[in-house]
Structure 1
């Protein structure tokens, strides 16, 4: 009992110290809108141009009804939120959960009619451009050769979430920390950061605890899986199992690509996951030295279905996006315009598509957006090479705005 009380006191002390360090900032006035930041209403001519792009640049296999399940998942999520509460504030725009719900409801209603009546996108919604523009990156479901039982051919473990990884909601202690959590473990009665990548993968910090959910052939594959957040395990008998995100150690994410560039090992131009893989195949002696530069570590669970975003719903390839939810909250719809890389070509292809904010990522901040590209070789290529500037346009139910006097 004394041990538990003593540990709690130490944690509270750490929190109070940080609170006092921030106290000097607590009286600053935050402006309601910053120049060049926010959602900017666009006129009808611009909307018409966007709709035309959507119909000509969405790809030959696009179907409006392919969005139906994703929109229904949005509504399922939004129905559990307090409609009057704020989902996000960005610039001068205040986005409520009710605003998002009404927009999704009306979009779902017109989906069956959009092939023949594209003007419904203009009539039913007011459109806003997200400013500044969007840096679009991609993620995908990698395939890993794996075994569910120990095997000398599969020497590298995937770990489940450890029981000694503790989590505390810091928002309970200070309003400035709302939505932030502290991840830690207890060592000799002291709260300390959880084990980093070096301790887990190379010093065996989690060995012998029965935390392994699978074993894979390639350590670099584990690293790539952790970057993507979920994947598929191809087992020796040919069957496939989904491996899904279960949690992380709470330490800072460091980009391996940036580290390679800063060390002069790879050029910035054309940086991709494929180039990183090739580099490690040619320089296996540098794998440990470079992987440990990223202390962040992800834990997994197995499932027969997936992948799922942080909203708890299945992701839709080339439509689901990961966002900074302080800017683009879960359940938002958007129209994304960008130029996508094309395999085997030096040029990029203009693309316009409807997207749904259903995931988040630790490296996704501000207006940056991460597009879920699916699984397989084409998805791997696109996710590995996608690093393009684009624009996101945000639809809001016209009827909702008129009813609430916000037009």
Structure 2
């Protein structure tokens, strides 16, 4: 990118302010605890791949291949994770994925091979699991009185800069902005875009939906499917974001007394908005974060630029669990009780792959990709629970 000197100076000053604010924030310490081989074996014996929709360990091969393709493009000696007591290279991640790939044919008969071949590194700060899914929304590629709410492509005037170049304390942080009258200003937030129509009639509309709440949840999930009037389906994939902080609508509504504190879910949020349409846009605007999309024939695609696998792919904070990493996890799955009421299911232990990220996925929070369909929607709408997670690394001979 090339800027006029005055614009670049303003950008540098703005970045410096951001750095000073970040320096004042204390990053929580995350501990990693290596487990003994016997404890690793105990975890391996508990793994139930049937709860992940798999019939054999061999069914994990395509998902593993996706992670292998991602980490194989990284320098083997490069650092994938360096935090607290743990340093992991991309080469070590790749070796672990290849080892797991080779072990798959033997694991149906003897899952304890995992304990003998892998080190299990536990995340000890009480990881919390939420879930996301691939939503389906009714939409059309042309506007009408029925399909009146636009889904936008990423605007050309949305700019970003990696702040690492200004100070190492800002490693991995990005500033999103636009230029207005020669000045660097934050990009439009949700109210600007949806209420004040700042992006309307600029040729950015890639589709139009029936329901603005559908678009909101599509943005929360990051990708989805458009169900067109003739029954055809079109994938919409994440293209970019406006850079504003994500604010949980469920938390806002709970704190305002609009939702039962014991029943905050995607379903309860949607139900309230449907019954109170006069409050809908004002409530949606409390989340200034906005996501832009692109049309595609395949999806969904994770942060590793590979297809996600239902109940295997996890969105993680790469500063805690590196992208492409092999994981084991234990978490209860939400279940439907009598008359469709939510109830917490029994915990199950599965194999996961860190294949995605998310604006709200920071620290010890993980997002479980539940897939597509009614059951996936139910799980994603109700999972919000503590769990356990272990990073799996190959044993050093």
Of the three residues 183, 187, 196, the one matched with 1:190 is 183
Structure 1 residues 129 and 300, CA, compared in 2 at 3 Å: closer, same or farther? same
Q: Does 1:376 align with 2:373?
A: yes
User: Do the aligned residues in 2 keep the contact of 1:3 with 1:189 (CA within 8 Å)?
Assistant: no
Structure 1 residues 24 and 221, CA, compared in 2 at 3 Å: closer, same or farther? closer
Of the three residues 89, 92, 112, the one matched with 2:85 is 92
CA RMSD of aligned residues (A): 2.1
Structure 1 residues 261 and 227, CA, compared in 2 at 3 Å: closer, same or farther? same
Q: What's the offset of the Cα at 1:387?
A: 0.8
Unmatched tracts of structure 1, length 5 or more: 403-407
Structure 1 residues 93 and 313, CA, compared in 2 at 3 Å: closer, same or farther? same
- TM-score, L = length of structure 2: 0.94
Between the aligned partners of 2:127 and 2:55, the Cα distance in structure 1 is 23
Between the aligned partners of 1:23 and 1:281, the Cα distance in structure 2 is 43
Q: Does 1:304 align with 2:301?
A: no
CA deviations on 1:9-61 (whole Å, 9 max, x unpaired) are 22123234455667899xx9x9xx95xx3221222332232122114874674
CA deviations on 1:146-174 (whole Å, 9 max, x unpaired) are 00111211000000000000111111121
CA deviations on 1:171-206 (whole Å, 9 max, x unpaired) are 112121122111101111111001111110111100
Q: What's the offset of the Cα at 1:6?
A: 2.4
How does 1:308-347 map onto structure 2 within 5 Å?
Answer: 308-344=301-337, 346-347=343-344
Q: Does 1:367 align with 2:379?
A: no
Q: Does 1:249 align with 2:242?
A: yes
Give the 3-state SS of the residue equivalent to 1:365 in structure 2.
Answer: coil
Between the aligned partners of 1:165 and 1:189, the Cα distance in structure 2 is 14
Structure 1 residues 372 and 205, CA, compared in 2 at 3 Å: closer, same or farther? same
Give the 3-state SS of the residue equivalent to 1:342 in structure 2.
Answer: strand
Match of 1:405 in 2: none
Structure 1 residues 173 and 59, CA, compared in 2 at 3 Å: closer, same or farther? closer
CA deviations on 1:296-322 (whole Å, 9 max, x unpaired) are 100000000000011111000000000
Match of 1:357 in 2: 354
User: Do the aligned residues in 1 keep the contact of 2:122 with 2:391 (CA within 8 Å)?
Assistant: yes
How does 1:51-70 map onto structure 2 within 5 Å?
Answer: 51-55=44-48, 58=51, 61-70=54-63
Q: What's the offset of the Cα at 1:389?
A: 1.0
